[in-house]
Chains A and B, each alone.
Chain A
Amino acid sequence: MTIDAYLAELRRLLPATRRGRFLREAEDHLRDAAQAFVTDGLDPEAAAARAVGDFGSAGEIALRIRRETAPVAVRRAAGVALLGLGLLFLPLYAVPENLLPPAPWDERPGYLGVLLGVALSGWLAALALAALAMLVRPRLAAPALVASAMAGCVSGLAGLVTAVAWHLEVPATPWSVVAIGTPLSVAAVGTAVGSAVWARTRVSA
């Protein structure tokens, strides 16, 4: 195999985050090694093949690079998920607290309380699981992130239903509350789910 073909194979197998630096280092290494074999008397083609052979299987090396970079990748994903879930603070608390008109009841309807409870406890669970994912090993972090994303989905969905139900119970509620809350919820949950999926691909690759 030629050095260029080997580097192309590595490029195909490596995670994008490590591709640039590692490929430059690998190319330097292979060209140095091939040059040394040429100096020792091999013809350039045989020298390149020998250098590639000594470097090792591209699949094995890519796997090791993925294993080495997984902890950092998963911690970053957990950080992004935490940030995304933090955004849910806006649709779950900040927007309703500041934009909703006063409710016309002395005692809030029970089902609204349940919905709010589900939304808030799901949010807290999602935050706690994302924070946990930053602290544990990648093998445990990826499932923690998936669980966090699921809790975030439950929270976002409950928050959305709460917003719509509130609007129906309190006719003066402006639709802008739902209009602001919905994309924020979707963005927050999307970030959490995206981070979890990305983390899983890093760990299971």
Chain B
Amino acid sequence: MQSEVLKGSVDVLLLSVLRTGEAHGYRIVELVREQSEGAFDLAEGTVYPALYRLERAGELASRWETVGGRRRRVYRLTRRGRRELVRRRREWEAYSRAMGAALA
């Protein structure tokens, strides 16, 4: 997918894959890839600045967790993040309908 299109969608993609539960950075990238059936293949390292931005905005929260002897930072959606996801999803649906109609 074109990087410019993807750039504007990263935040909503990250919020969306975390709606079902906590995940660490690598798993988040895998989830984005799986749920978009490979269409959104993020440059993996760029996910972290986006996660930090969402965390600073209060839409995500994170904590260290030890799994199999390794410490990992896991991220989860906050209440504000859930509200924001609903709002952004509505925006995307409206945008998608409008583009679909315009290009039909």
Contact = CB atoms under 8 A, between A and B. Distances in A.
Contacts of A25: 24-25, 48, 72-73
Interface string B47-80: 0111011001000000000000011110000000
26 contacts: A18-B52, A21-B73, A24-B71, A25-B24, A25-B48, A26-B45, A28-B26, A28-B71, A29-B25, A29-B29, A29-B45, A33-B44, A55-B43, A56-B44, A56-B45, A58-B45, A60-B45, A61-B45, A61-B46, A61-B48, A64-B49, A65-B49, A65-B52, A68-B49, A71-B56, A72-B56
Contacts of B24: 25, 28
Interface in A25-78: 25-26, 28-29, 32-33, 54-56, 58, 60-61, 64-65, 67-69, 71-72
Contacts of A29: 25-26, 29, 44-45
A165 to B, nearest CB: 48
A72 B26 CA distance: 25
A22 interface: yes
A28 B25 contact: yes
A68 B10 CA distance: 14
Interface of A: 18, 21-22, 24-26, 28-29, 32-33, 54-56, 58, 60-61, 64-65, 67-69, 71-72
Contacts, number: 58
A40 to B, nearest CB: 13
Interface of chain B: mostly helix, strand, loop or mixed: helix
Interface of chain A: mostly helix, strand, loop or mixed: helix
Contacts of A61: 45-46, 48-49
